[in-house]
A = this chain, B = another copy of it.
Amino acid sequence: MSIPVAILGPTGYTGLELLELLAQHPGMHAAYLASARPEPFSILREFPRLAGRLSPRTPEMCRPIDHDAIAGACRLAFLCLPHEAAMTHAPQLLSRGVKVVDLSAAYRLKDASIYHAAYGHHHTDAENLAHAVYGLPELYRERIAGATLVANPGCYPTASALAVAPFLRAGLIKGDSIIINAASGASGAGREAKPHLTIVEAGDNFSAYGHGSHRHQPEIEQTLAASSVARLSEAGPAADRSTPSVLFLPHLLPIERGILTTITAELTDPTPHTTTTAAAQHALKSAYATEPFITIRDDTPTLRDVQKTNSVHINARVTNPAFARSGTGAHPRLVVVAAIDNLVKGASGQAIQNANLMLGLEEGAGLR
């Protein structure tokens, strides 16, 4: 028995990835495709490459968004829509009993004023924002399983938060020293053709953008604050109560897929040899010992290791301040490198992982 689900917005990169992933899913299938276009259209005509790669239960036609029809046909909907459209359609679907995994940013930030500061428009669905669950299964598995609305995390926040959270929980790093250098393939910028994204301009190139002002920065901080609080509740009243602050520095890679984050932080105990690479790796391995999609690597991961998979590969090391150095003033730092596929674990794969939990299916079904 396969559960019917809907995809709203199947023509963007996250929607297309969902279509292909769901075609391999043993317990869920895309039973309804809907978009903001006023007329129905054939998804196969627009994307001939999908020929033979869709589930036989998936309709060829993508229809206008009809909440009643979706509710009649599907138990869950994936929203691959602009943020504002998500805030319009999610309430309609939820009120009709359809569970929602929202791949936009609409329900990710719990504080609507921060949402406004980051996205430039007001949040219009406070009611559902209040109960939306942030869909990072490795941190919030149980809450996701009971949720009706899951905010699927951003791609950079997924790669960043999973790499840093164990160190905050373990109290190994200073919360105000976290610097996240990240590089992403161009599919993260969406399917729209923009001048700086042509192969001539973006190929053979590498560039920085949005340094210190990217909308994923507050999302990362929100997740890390929760990890920090978890630490505090264990640590007692004497602990450092500062909220983690992050400097997020994204870059654009001349490739389609993948995010690599290189994260540095100061150690809580900077005495050389107190916190070692072995201790850092142990913190990761114990945090993620039973996670099916997380691999702690002894070497540093590369994008090729995770492309087209739902895997997260992470490696941590503590730098040696004595390396080829005669001067004073150096101290060890933690360096964490994490790699994911931005369209899979960073978007559509994680959305399926969340949907599996929400629908009572095996968490890894349809993923690899």
Contacts and interface: CB of A to CB of B under 8 A. Distances in A.
A348 B105 CA distance: 40
Contact of A183 (B251, B299, B323): B251
Interface stretch (A62-70, A91-99, A258-266): A258-266
A324 B118 contact: yes
Contacts of A325: 114, 217-218, 221, 245
A307 interface: yes
Given A183-B206, A186-B199, A324 B114 contact: yes
Interface stretch (A73-81, A156-164, A330-338): A330-338
What does DSSP make chain A's interface, helix, strand, loop or mixed?
loop
Nearest to A292: B52
Q: How many copies does the complex hold?
A: 4
A15 to B, nearest CB: 14
Contacts of A247: 264, 319, 333, 335
A276 interface: no
Given A197-B199, A199-B199, A320-B212, A244 B187 contact: no
A307 B193 CA distance: 22
What size tier do the contact residues of chain A reach?
35 or more
A328 B117 CA distance: 16
B204 A304 contact: yes
B218 A324 contact: yes
Interface string A254-292: 111110101010000000000000000000000000001
Contacts of A306: 49
